[in-house]
Amino acid sequence: MQVMEKEETGLRASVLRAESISKVFGTKSVFREISLDVAEGEVVTLIGPSGSGKTTFLRTLNHLEEPSEGVVLLDGKPLGQRLRNAAWLPDSAQLRADQQRIGFVFQQFNLFPHMTAAENVWHAPVRVKGEDKTEAMARARELLERVGLEQQADQKPATLSGGQQQRVAIARALAMRPRLLLFDEPTSALDPEMTQEVLRTIQGLAREGVTMVIVTHEMSFARRISDRVVVMEDGLIIEQGPATDIFSDPENVRTRAFLASMSE
């Protein structure tokens, strides 16, 4: 499989950009006027206290939740909209197409229990995107190899460990050839040993240049993997920057307090 080396220098194109997005449920404001630009090959981690709005923000990035205000741009184009007569208008077919280009890896792996690992990986490319089945099946094996599961390709999820199931879920997301991957606490349902194997897999993707936004409570992982760390609290980004700055010398007192609470 062709692997892109991560480009370390130069201007990189914006893959996903949130422009002043907000989310309100009824009268509850979950996050307010957040802007975030994710460049090609960049790994952004999102950290912050429980309830600060990380999951909702991540889900809004690919319109699993529609933003109450603001716009999300994928490759510079408004997500889920199509240009008609010089105006961008909501379009459900465009939304589905755009969402297919944004991989999402959930806390609970959400694999199809009646399908083998390989079937879970090739199912959507064939059924949703209409890819050639023989090619998709071969590619599913390659992707399972990439996440270290070539031996488990024909096993059903129930016979796999949690860490293995999560790696199948990662292969499944990659099978759609996404522009980027979003992860919501991919290891929080796992015990420490399995956590490490999943984190190593994600780190491998980072090295290959896969663009990712990762919500995580694993601070040492965030420190290792991030090009940029974004700290959320109470629905706002309170600080962001390179991992070394955020973890070694945070400017915001609330970032300090949060990091201290995580190391207890």
Ligand X SMILES: Nc1ncnc2c1ncn2[C@@H]1O[C@H](COP(=O)(O)OP(=O)(O)OP(=O)(O)O)[C@@H](O)[C@H]1O
Q: Note the residues at the interface with ligand X (CB under 6 A).
A: 25, 28, 30, 48, 50-56
Smaller CB distance to ligand X: residue 94 or 216?
216
Contacts by 49-54 with C-beta closer than 8 Å and gap 24+? Answer: 49/233, 49/258, 49/261, 52/232, 52/233, 52/234, 52/235, 53/23, 53/232, 53/234, 53/235, 54/184, 54/215, 54/232
Cα within 13 Å of Cα(262), Cβ side: 19
Least spacing, CB of residue 53 vs ligand X, in Å: 4
- Tokens in use for 165? 């199931």
**Residue 242 site contact among Mg ion, ligand X, none (CB < 5 to 8 Å, cut-off depends on kind):** none
CB of 3 to ligand X, least distance (A): 32
Tokens, residue 12: 């990189």
- Closest CB to ligand X among residues 57, 122: 57
Q: Smallest gap, in angstroms, from Cβ of residue 171 to ligand X?
A: 24
For the four alpha carbons of 53, 55, 57 and 59, in that order, the dihedral sign comes to negative
CB of 218 to ligand X, least distance (A): 12
**Residue 99 interacting entry, from ligand X, Mg ion, none, C-beta within 5 to 8 Å by type:** none
The H or E element spanning position 170 is helix 162-175
Measured CA to CA, the distance from residue 121 to residue 102 in angstroms comes to 16
Which is nearer to ligand X, 68 or 161 (by Cβ)? 68
Residue number, 46 or 121, with CB nearest to Mg ion: 46
- Judged by beta carbon distances under 5 to 8 A according to partner kind, the member of ligand X, Mg ion, none in contact with residue 76 is none
CB 139 within 8 A of CB 208: no
Minimum CB–partner distance for residue 205 and ligand X (Å): 22
Question: What residue 84 binds from Mg ion, ligand X, none (CB within 5 to 8 A, per partner kind)?
Answer: none
- Which of Mg ion, ligand X, none does residue 53 bind (CB under 5 to 8 Å by kind)? ligand X
Query: Is the CB of 97 or the CB of 262 nearer to Mg ion?
Result: 262
- Secondary structure of 55-96 as H, E, C letters: HHHHHHHCCCCCCCEEEEEECCEECCEEEECCEEEECHHHHH
Question: Which partner in Mg ion, ligand X, none is near 100 (CB below 5 to 8 A by kind)?
Answer: none
Q: CA–CA separation, 165 vs 169, rounded Å? A: 6
Q: Which is nearer to ligand X, 28 or 84 (CB)?
A: 28
**In the bound complex, what is the minimum distance in angstroms from residue 184's beta carbon to Mg ion?**
6
With H, G, I as helix, E, B as strand and everything else as coil, classify residue 167: helix
Binding site for Mg ion (CB under 5 A): 55
Which of residues 160 and 181 has its CB atom nearest to ligand X in the complex? 181
Q: Which does 51 bind (CB under 5 to 8 A by kind): ligand X, Mg ion, none?
A: ligand X
Kind plus residue range of the DSSP H or E element containing 14: strand 14-25
Question: What is the pairing mode between strands 212-215 and 180-184?
Answer: parallel
